[in-house]
Amino acid sequence: MSILVVGSVAFDSIETPHGKVDHCLGGAATHFSLAASYFTPVRVIAVVGEDFTAEHEKVMTDRGIDTRGLERAKGLSFHWTGSYVGNLNEAKTLGTDLNVFETFEPKIPDGYKDSEYLFLANIDPVLQARVRSQMPGVKMVCGDTMNYWIADHRENLLKVLRELDVLLINDGEAKMLSGESNLVKAAAKVMEMGPKILVVKHGEYGATAFFCDRSFLGAASVSMPFRAPALPLAEVVDPTGAGDSFAGGFYGYLASQPALTPAVFRTAMFYGGVMGSFAVERFGTERLQSVSRDEIEARFRLFKEISHLE
């Protein structure tokens, strides 16, 4: 079933210990869409500027991503500059040029209205809420956010959280949002804010899903969390978009399945890790554009092999 994703389609200038790229295609919605496109149809809503060419769009349409909701505006696309020199685990933001995103008013094309899965990628919660309210009939809503919105736009963010089935954030964000330093307690508090399931991403250590008693997966999943591994990698070329790629693999797999069961949810967590592990192998979206379904399945088996007793 189709996923509608709203978020940034952007250009990134990135420096890592492996090199430097200037204005490569990036953005949360881009990474998410590419990762999810291997599992299910994806429709994207974002705004781009005049620097976004037909060639950039082709990266998305070549993967079957529906770009009818990609609005063109006068000016330049959103541009992020960051560095991982000295610390591959955390980006140092050197510049954020919102450009066309400053005045973005997301509009949902009629052809998108029957989307059954909604993903609110990391953007201003006001925009997330606006899209959410225009899609009242979706089967499931999943979202992401970041420390900036948690710290300085809390009220707007809380309105979005109330509407979420699943929230995907990292350890630091879960602790910041809840004010709790213990992850289990943090998860309980975050789920009181709305999300029925919280997926906490631990970077190189994998991810943990927490379920509350309002979880929609059935009783079997309620009591215990679930931990998915990450693949130990000798080379991380560019961590940018790893979290969005995790979200794409996770949600893409969920949306591709006929029913939401605990087993399907667990498998989705593994596919999230799989897509995240591919994303970091090259700069920008390069690896996500070219991975094959066979490679995805082989890596899924690898994730199972490195974490299962038998």
Of 270, 277, 280, 284, the residue at the interface with a second copy (CB under 8 A) is 270
From 63-71, 125-133, 158-166, 222-230, span contacting a second copy (CB under 8 A): 222-230
Of 53, 232, 259, 292, the residue at the interface with a second copy (CB under 8 A) is 232
Type of residue at 278: F
Instruction: Name the minimum Å distance from CB 3 to a second copy.
Output: 23
Of the two residues 60 and 200, which places its CB atom closer to a second copy in the complex? Answer: 200
Tell me if 53 sits within 8 A of 78, measured CB to CB: no
Write the DSSP string, 268-310. HHHHHHHHHHHHTTSSTTHHHHH--HHHHHHHHHHHHHTT---
Q: Residue 145 has what DSSP assignment?
A: -
Of 152, 155, 213, 305, the residue at the interface with a second copy (CB under 8 A) is 305
Of 229, 239, 241, 272, the residue at the interface with a second copy (CB under 8 A) is 229
Q: Which structure tokens are listed for 117?
A: 């899965």
Instruction: Name the minimum Å distance from CB 35 to a second copy.
Output: 20
Q: Which structure tokens are listed for 275?
A: 């897509």
- Per-residue x/- marks for a second copy, 172-211, CB under 8 A? ---------xxxxx-xx-------------x-xxx-x-x-
Should residue 222 be labelled a site residue for a second copy when binding is judged by CB under 8 A? no
Type of residue at 72: R
Instruction: Name the minimum Å distance from CB 186 to a second copy.
Output: 10
Instruction: Name the minimum Å distance from CB 279 to a second copy.
Output: 17
Q: Which structure tokens are listed for 258?
A: 């006929």
Tell me if 225 sits within 8 A of 210, measured CB to CB: yes
The angle at the Cα of 141, spanning 228 to 5, to the nearest 5 degrees, equals: 90
From 50-58, 133-141, 233-241, 283-291, span contacting a second copy (CB under 8 A): 233-241
Cα(170)–Cα(124) distance, integer angstroms: 18
DSSP three-state, residue 200: strand
Site for a second copy, rule CB under 8 A: 88, 181-185, 187-188, 202, 204-206, 208, 210, 224-229, 232-236, 263, 266-267, 270, 302, 304-310
